[in-house]
Amino acid sequence: MIFFGCEEEKDPAGKRNIGVVPRITDLTGIFINGDPNSFISFKVNLESGTTVEQASVIVSTKNNFERVKIADLTSFPADVTLTLGAVNEKLGVISKGEVISIEVLTTRDGITTRSNAALFLIVYCEYDGALAVGNYHSVSPPTDWNSEGDISIQADPDDPYKVYVTGLEAIEGLNEDQGPLVMHIDPSTFKVTADKTVIASDAFGETNIAYEGTGSFNSCLGSYEMNFNISTDQTDYGTFAFTFTRN
């Protein structure tokens, strides 16, 4: 997650949004608990024509908020790669589910500026296929699709990263004579992609209600955060948020 915001100037790590403001973009990769070689990569850049006297990447966690330098940057744009092992050396061994904060400090004319985009990255658990399937409770708030009930997620027998979801329209009283909804978990990022799938032929007078979308899988909790576009042959209803949690 990339968080944008501002803070009071008393922050000991430096002021935000004054002087030179570095930018963090192009984040890839994940940290996996127990794998010191798991890594994230990102790019740091400055406004065109801007120079700095010093630049560094700093890390911290909620449980160890002391900001620690982990890398110096000597030119821009800078490509940065950090392994979980390197972060552990600076902050101590980080537990699964912990969130690592990553920021960039720059100094020019005696003014230190902290990046206006901070990365907050969860330390994921190793993928456990058994934790990605089973009986789940699906919730889409009233402000979204307004749906709630129990569903089932099963794995493809030949691909542990491919799962089948049933029950999303059954909990609304429809006959799920189509489907199941097919979803793919990317093992390198834990992003989830749901193929466009017709779930029920009849949907309250319309035909062929279908789901497709994207989201993420929490490998520590076995939960899913999804955004589904829902449509029928007659209507595109838009995109709605769903959360699947294990029963």
Residue 112 confidence class, pLDDT cut points 50, 70, 90: confident
- Assess whether pLDDT exceeds 70 at residue 30: yes
Chain segment 171-217, per-residue pLDDT in tens = 999 999 999 999 999 988 899 999 999 999 999 999 999 999 999 99
- Assess whether pLDDT exceeds 60 at residue 2: no
- Assess whether pLDDT exceeds 60 at residue 164: yes
Alpha helices in the chain (DSSP H): 84-91
Write the single-letter amino acid at 204: F
User: How high is the pLDDT of residue 23?
Assistant: 87
C-alpha separations of 199 from 106, 133, 172, 176 in Å? 52, 19, 12, 6
Give the closest residue to 108 by CA, choosing from 156, 157, 49, 166. Answer: 49
Whether the model clears a pTM of 0.75, i.e. scores above it, the answer is yes
Once rounded to an integer, what is the mean pLDDT over residues 135-158?
97
User: How high is the pLDDT of residue 11?
Assistant: 46
Cross-strand pairs, 3: 118
- Assess whether pLDDT exceeds 80 at residue 109: yes
Cross-strand pairs, 145: none
- Assess whether pLDDT exceeds 60 at residue 97: yes
Pick from 17-21, 40-44, 117-121: least confident:
17-21
3-state SS class at 222? coil
Cα–Cα dist 221/233, whole Å: 36
| Angle 174-180-182 from CA coordinates, rounded to 5° | 135
Percentage of the chain exceeding pLDDT 90: 72
C-alpha separations of 247 from 143, 192, 230, 238 in Å? 23, 20, 25, 28
Pick from 6-10, 41-45, 148-152, 193-197: least confident:
6-10
| Angle 65-67-70 from CA coordinates, rounded to 5° | 135
User: How high is the pLDDT of residue 46?
Assistant: 87
- Assess whether pLDDT exceeds 90 at residue 117: no
How high is the mean pLDDT of the chain? 89
23: Cβ contacts below 8 Å, ≥ 6 apart:
44, 45, 46, 115, 116, 117
Chain segment 228-237, per-residue pLDDT in tens = 999 999 999 9
Domains in the chain and their CATH numbers? 2-124 (2.60.40.10), 129-246 (2.40.128)
